[in-house]
């Protein structure tokens, strides 16, 4: 149980285009999802916390107009990188909590974004 | 603030060697504690967790005991395998929020 998927697993795009990454909880309803960014050989950096039906809460220094997050249902959250540039190239990972009040997060397999 | 500190690697071991990866946490409250593992090119997988003092989390031969007196949650395995090669992250909740705070990660390489 507690499986989280991401799509696509990798994407290459041209500079200036927008890319959408999907995060789905496959066997549970996730009231809260999280989006992380991971640079090579580094730990995870939390970008934003996404609650179903409400606006995402972004961490300090993360541009909300650059990284659009939508959590329209209890099983799906999307991250759209708008007007992507090479510096946005990274590994993006989502996670989800099974229920409010629990601490455990279950992670997706990640999406490798390369912007040319 | 709330944080975890884990030993920095990389750690290189031979197969069947004993593994310890140290993790200490800031003693604010009594948080749940986690170990996550990340295999190359993949996301994180929950390896084990403990929710209160003296609890022992275990999975796949790995163990970690929640030690309140030393504010530690060290990861151990008695006999590592090549397939254990990965990056291991210690984590705890950030007090008063739903966020997790991660250590910097420890890369483990196990050679045959």
Measured in angstroms, the CA of A32 and the nearest CA of chain B are apart by: 9
- Asked if A43's CB is within 8 angstroms of B104's CB, the reply is yes
Rounded distance, CA B110 to CA B112, Å?
A: 7
Count of C-beta atoms within a 10 Å radius of residue B46:
18
Residue range A63-83, pLDDT digits in tens: 999 999 998 888 999 999 999
The pLDDT value recorded for residue A54 is 84
Which chain B residues are closer than 8 Å to A26 by Cβ? none
The candidate with the shortest Cα–Cα distance to A53, out of A31, A35, A20, A23, is: A31
The pLDDT value recorded for residue A100 is 67
Rounded distance, CA A85 to CA A47, Å?
A: 17
- Asked if A6's CB is within 8 angstroms of B99's CB, the reply is no
The H or E element that residue B17 is part of is: none
Rounded distance, CA B57 to CA B72, Å?
A: 13
A76 SS3 class: strand
Mean pLDDT value of segment B40-50: 91
Of B43, B45, B103, Cβ closest to residue A43: B103
Mean per-residue pLDDT over chain B, rounded: 92
């Amino acid at each position: 149980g507690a499986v989280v998927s991401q799509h696509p697993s990798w994407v290459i795009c041209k500079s200036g285009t927008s890319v959408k990454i999907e995060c789905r909880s496959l066997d549970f309803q996730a009231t809260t999802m999280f989006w992380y960014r991971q640079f090579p050989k580094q730990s995870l950096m939390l970008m934003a916390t996404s609650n179903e039906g409400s606006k995402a809460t972004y961490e300090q220094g993360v541009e909300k107009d650059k990284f659009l997050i939508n959590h329209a249902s209890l099983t799906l959250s999307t991250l759209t990188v708008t007007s992507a540039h090479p510096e946005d190239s990274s590994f993006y990972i989502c996670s989800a909590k099974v229920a409010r009040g629990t601490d455990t997060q279950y992670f997706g397999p990640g999406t490798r974004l390369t912007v040319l | 603030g709330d944080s975890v500190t884990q030993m920095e690697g990389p750690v290189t071991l031979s197969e069947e060697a004993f593994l310890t990866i140290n993790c200490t946490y800031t003693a604010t409250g009594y948080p749940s504690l986690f170990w996550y593992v990340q295999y190359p090119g993949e996301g994180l997988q929950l390896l084990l967790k403990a929710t209160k003092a003296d609890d022992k989390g275990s999975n796949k031969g790995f163990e970690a005991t929640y030690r309140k007196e030393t504010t530690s949650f060290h990861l151990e395995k008695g006999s590592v395998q090549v397939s254990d090669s990965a990056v291991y992250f210690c984590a705890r909740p950030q007090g008063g929020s739903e966020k997790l705070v991660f250590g910097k990660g420890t890369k483990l390489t196990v050679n045959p």
